Amino acid sequence: MKSYDVIIVGAGSMGMSAGYYLARRGVRTLLIDAFDPPHREGSHHGEPRLIRHAYSGHAVYTGMAIRAHELWNELEERMERKLLIQSGVLNITDTQINSFDERIAEAAKQGVHTEKLNADDIRKRWKGLELPNHFEAMYEPAAGYLCSEACVDSYKALALAHGAELLPHTAVCGITARRGSVVVHTRTAKFHGAKLILTAGAWFSTLAPFISLPVRAVRKTVGWFETGSSDFHAGKFPGFTLHTQEGGYYGFPDIGGAGLKIGRHDTGLEWKPGEPLLPFGSLNEDEGDLRGVLGKYMPAAAGRLSKGTVCKYEMSPDEDFIIDRHPHYPHIVVAGGFSGHGFKFSSVVGEICSQLVLDEASQHDIRPFALSRFAQQASPAPSFA
Ligand SMILES: Cc1cc2nc3c(=O)[nH]c(=O)nc-3n(C[C@H](O)[C@H](O)[C@H](O)COP(=O)(O)OP(=O)(O)OC[C@H]3O[C@@H](n4cnc5c(N)ncnc54)[C@H](O)[C@@H]3O)c2cc1C
């Protein structure tokens, strides 16, 4: 049986990054993935992904986003490849349902520059937006978007260059934990690891009861719509989030004529591993929801649908991340439940996982991500198969 310092189950957004941060320190690392990342089965395809720093909720997110941004820039330098486009991100809300005051205050405390804009300011600056007067925005000029598949691909190239091994197209179907070691089973082989990182994204439920994360996978749809105006082109139009009575949306400018990309953050059908994932267009609301909100707030961007795709969120009950050690086995680190906002952090989450598994402290206060915050945790089992 081959033996490694650390085995990583799930080499997607978080796992691949962790693999790089371990391998570059000379840690003998095996990454195992059911597909060949980057791939189109999990949560990281259909780029781009927003990166913004001014967060609500736990203050740790803002600090982590700042560190994540530094690590993305470092990755770009090492790869000599553009991964992060600083387009600015415009967060728009109906003031009857939300306010940015808390986020703006936290951002200022942590040195993140934001601008608060009223509806008139917004309409003057970005011509394509038709917003009612009771809308406002928080604009973050240093924010932008990440080419997510290229990011995973870059971490993969560097992890392999530093000596990590990757086993693609191989599902892990069993884990046996002992104090201070683990054995990971695939259909045809077994691997011994001194330590283990579990970053299984939308498939975490298949690892129960060895580890029971209260994570629910959800089918999400995104569409690219032809725009009738250069106002929406990259370089002129920012990334955006849009919080309205109709729901929560996010999107990106028209990059190279691909169309304006828009997705819905709330709602979505639950998906269970093993079930088919309905392709885009299977439900009327797949296109209808997106077109409806475009028609209302950005009518010149509600052209022909040029592409649609489906992807998976992994929702934790409170939409906060889970980054912790296994409740019985401290040499096993789990990172999941990224709840539709994890990609921007995947650089720093990889760094954090690499530190935790090597028994080092993280510079970030990750206590809000503890698994123990969920009551009623099923007792973990020593193995699963
Ligand atoms: C449509 C959409 C839009 C999004 N937009 C944004 C955004 O704008 N900004 C943002 O920050 N985030 C965004 N996100 C969220 C972000 O993409 C996810 O939070 C992030 O990709 C989750 O990373 P992960 O590593 O947990 O999952 P993945 O990247 O899917 O990796 C999990 C990996 O585990 C592997 N795996 C699972 N089980 C096993 C097993 N038993 N054996 C072997 N391998 C296994 C899978 O094959 C997969 O490769 C979006 C997500 C979606 C779907």
How many Å separate Cα 187 from the centre of its chain? 29
Using CB atoms within 10 Å of the CB of residue 335, give its burial: 0 to 12 exposed, 13 to 18 middle, 19+ buried: buried
Model pLDDT for residues 78-90, shown as the tens digit of each residue: 999 999 999 999 9
CATH fold of the domain at 2-44+149-214+318-376: FAD/NAD(P)-binding domain (3.50.50)
Map out the domains of the chain as residue ranges: 2-44+149-214+318-376, 89-141+217-313
DSSP structural state of residue 373: G
Which residues are within 8 A (CB) of 258 and not within 5 positions of it... i.e. 6 or more apart? 224, 306, 307
Token code pair at residue 369: 């991500």
**Which superfamily, per CATH, for 89-141+217-313?**
D-Amino Acid Oxidase, subunit A, domain 2 (3.30.9.10)
Q: What is the mean pLDDT of the chain?
A: 96
| Strands 144-146 vs 165-167: parallel, antiparallel or unpaired | unpaired
The verdict on the CB of residue 33 being under 6 Å from ligand 1 is yes
Q: Which atom number of ligand 1 is nearest to the Cα of residue 145? A: 8
Q: Which two tokens stand for residue 367?
A: 């206590």
pLDDT digits (tens, 9 = 90+) for 371-385: 999 975 555 565 555
Task: Tell me the mean pLDDT in the region 207-235.
Answer: 95
Give residue-wise pLDDT tens across range 150-208.
Answer: 999 999 999 999 999 999 999 999 999 998 999 999 999 999 999 999 999 999 999 99
- By the 8 A CB rule, do 37 and 16 touch? yes
Count the neighbouring beta carbons within 10 Å of the beta carbon of residue 236: 15
**Ligand 1 neighbour 10 (Cβ under 6 A):** yes
Q: Which residue has the higher pLDDT, 228 or 45?
A: 45
User: If DSSP codes are grouped into helix, strand and coil, which group holds residue 39?
Assistant: coil
Please report the pLDDT score of residue 161 as a whole number.
Answer: 98
Helices (H), 24-131: 60-79, 101-109, 119-125
- Within 217-345, residue ranges assigned H as helices are 284-297
pTM across the whole model: 0.97
pLDDT, one tens digit per residue, over 312-356 is: 999 999 999 999 999 999 999 999 999 999 999 999 999 999 999
**Measured distance CA(16)–CA(8) in Å, rounded:** 8
Does residue 202 contact residue 314 with C-beta atoms inside 8 Å? yes
Q: What is the pLDDT of residues 249-289, one digit of tens each?
A: 999 999 999 999 999 999 999 999 999 999 999 999 999 99
Is the CB of 311 within 6 Å of ligand 1?
yes
| Separation of CA 341 and ligand 1 centre (Å) | 10
Confidence at residue 377, expressed as pLDDT on a 0 to 100 scale = 55
Indicate whether residue 329 lines ligand 1 (CB < 6 A): no
**Residue that has been written with the tokens 């749809």 in this structure:** 221
Which position has the token pair 């998906």? 271
